[in-house]
Amino acid sequence: MTSPQAVDATGAVLQRLLGLHPKKIDLSLGRILTLLDRLGRPQQHLPPTIHVAGTNGKGSTVAFMRAMLETAGRRVHVYTSPHLVQFHERIRLAGRLIGDDRLRAVLEECEHANGGAPITFFEITTAAALLEFSRIPADMLLLEVGLGGRYDATNVIDRPALSVITPVSHDHPEFLGTEITGIAREKAGILKPGAPAIIAPQGEAALGVIREEAARVGAPLEVAGEDFHVHGEHGRMIYQDEAGLLDLPPPRLPGRHQFDNAATAIAALRRLEPTFAIEAIEQGLGHVTWPARLQRLKAGPLLASAPPGVELWLDGGHNADGGRVLGDAMADFEDRATRPLIVICGTLATKDTAAFLRAFRGLAQEIIGVPVAGDHAGRSAAEVAAAARAQGIPASACASVPDALSYLRARAWPKPPRVLIAGSLYLAGEVLRLQGETLA
């Protein structure tokens, strides 16, 4: 068991690394490539790598691939971001989260090699992850882009086994711009010569740009809706590609959008291994876990402060497309079992809160704005409530998620409400910490 002193020591290293660059985000490959050279170029000594970019669905697609691969008996490294509860969640080594002592040692090694030079927190921690991935044998590395693609710190892999681009939409306009074609061009920057790519469902403009970039670099594409297809039928998931039709159980992760994420994962694994075991796909769909993606909270401190019989859901969705898929999911839930819908929402100041909340018009009885705790430049609860009212949705403001649940508990309900907490992954992480959850 890791001692509190070891945890504190790792936290101290992470805090030091935050001070190496004045900006949290500064998209560039120069700094990380220099550090990787000093570390012996670990990016050239990795297991076969699937590199995943996109705006929405990256984490879920990675989670499906991981579940299917591990069910098939493969050892899998995984790199994702941001974390929800603790930093260790970002680095999974051959099936297990990196341990505290090992994490601290590799961070200190990278800190020493960097020699105090300016480098962002994400760049130096990505270098640390790549160094660990190069040292421990595995059958596959699932590598998720942090932001964008072309100049993201993960884009140092010259020869990925496969690239994946999940749905592209508007997000991070301060770094990627507001034009969908420009955003798609940045995401398509992960495509490499000769490396096949799986493309999830896209809008016409985004897909056009991805095709152009693929043709320019020579990356063969398999595109959703053309080369592989998915739909639901009688409670089953029907997947089809050139190798045949699969009649599968529905994904464990709720929401109709997860059919597309699961199909993208299946297409990726079948591209790399056409005979990939169907049994592993079926079991992976049933075993997959991905916290704060329409996660039902069924126990814990927050339930005690909520209205009796409440149905409590948590999701990290935060942009317009994220709002849309959550709205669709809530509408599906309403069709199956009618309950009053309340959305507890906290967002960052950089996000289009109105666009996110627009999807809940006609669905939500009320939006309750809450702040996002920590140093994340969040909107105030009053600002979130005002954005909801501007969309024609009744709204109020509370000081925290527990306060919002207590506010709801004090009211009389003809039927226990359905409550969705959403708007930011940082808010989702705060909720999981309040619940006392540790992610393994």
**Counting every residue, how long is the chain?**
440
Q: Which ranges constitute the DSSP H helices of 169-299?
A: 173-176, 180-187, 204-217, 257-272, 278-287
Secondary structure class of 168 (helix, strand, coil)? coil
pLDDT, tens only, 45-71: 999 999 999 999 999 999 999 999 999
* pLDDT score at 84: 93
Tell whether the model's pLDDT for residue 4 goes beyond 60.
Answer: no
Structure tokens at 214: 């693929």
Provide the mean pLDDT of the chain.
93
The sign one gets for the Cα dihedral 335, 338, 340, 345 is negative
Give yes or no for a contact between 184 and 210, defined as CB atoms under 8 angstroms apart. yes
* pLDDT score at 6: 53
Burial class of residue 175, CB neighbours in 10 A (0-12, 13-18, 19+):
middle
Among 128, 133, 131, 171, residue whose Cα is nearest residue 149:
171
Structure tokens at 246: 């699969």
Backbone φ and ψ for 228, nearest 5 degrees, come out as -150, 150
Domains of the chain and any CATH numbers:
4-287 (3.40.1190.10), 295-434 (3.90.190.20)
* pLDDT score at 150: 94
Q: What pTM value is reported for the model?
A: 0.92
Burial class of residue 346, CB neighbours in 10 A (0-12, 13-18, 19+):
buried
Q: Mean pLDDT across the stretch 20-33? A: 81
Q: How many CB atoms lie within 10 A of CB 433?
A: 14
The sign one gets for the Cα dihedral 254, 255, 261, 262 is positive
| Across 123-137, 332-346, 370-384, 410-424, least confident range | 370-384
Give CA–CA dist 94/70, Å, rounded: 9
The sign one gets for the Cα dihedral 255, 260, 265, 269 is positive
* pLDDT score at 437: 82
Tell whether the model's pLDDT for residue 357 goes beyond 70.
Answer: yes
* pLDDT score at 8: 72
Structure tokens at 395: 């709204």
Give yes or no for a contact between 149 and 185, defined as CB atoms under 8 angstroms apart. no
Give CA–CA dist 338/211, Å, rounded: 43
For tokens 């039902």, name the residue: 296
pLDDT, tens only, 323-342: 999 999 999 999 999 999 99
pLDDT, tens only, 183-209: 999 999 999 999 999 999 999 999 999
* pLDDT score at 227: 98
Would you give the DSSP letter of residue 348? B
Give CA–CA dist 83/80, Å, rounded: 8
Give CA–CA dist 234/229, Å, rounded: 17
* pLDDT score at 172: 56
Structure tokens at 394: 């009744």
Q: How many CB atoms lie within 10 A of CB 283?
A: 17
Number of H helices, E strands in the chain: 16, 17
Backbone φ and ψ for 246, nearest 5 degrees, come out as -115, 125
Percent of the chain with pLDDT strictly greater than 70: 95
Tell whether the model's pLDDT for residue 170 goes beyond 90.
Answer: no
Tell whether the model's pLDDT for residue 73 goes beyond 90.
Answer: yes
- Given strand 244-248, what is the order of strands in its sheet? 228-233, 236-241, 244-248
Tell whether the model's pLDDT for residue 1 goes beyond 50.
Answer: no
Name the pLDDT band for 439 (thresholds 50, 70, 90). confident
Give the distance between the most distant pair of CA atoms in the chain: 65
| Across 68-77, 169-178, 412-421, least confident range | 169-178
pLDDT, tens only, 75-93: 999 999 999 999 999 999 9
pLDDT, tens only, 261-316: 999 999 999 999 999 999 999 999 999 999 998 999 998 999 999 999 999 999 99
* pLDDT score at 11: 86
Give CA–CA dist 439/44, Å, rounded: 30
Give CA–CA dist 282/261, Å, rounded: 14
Name the pLDDT band for 377 (thresholds 50, 70, 90). confident
Measure Cα distances from 343 to 188, 256, 295 in Å: 34, 19, 14
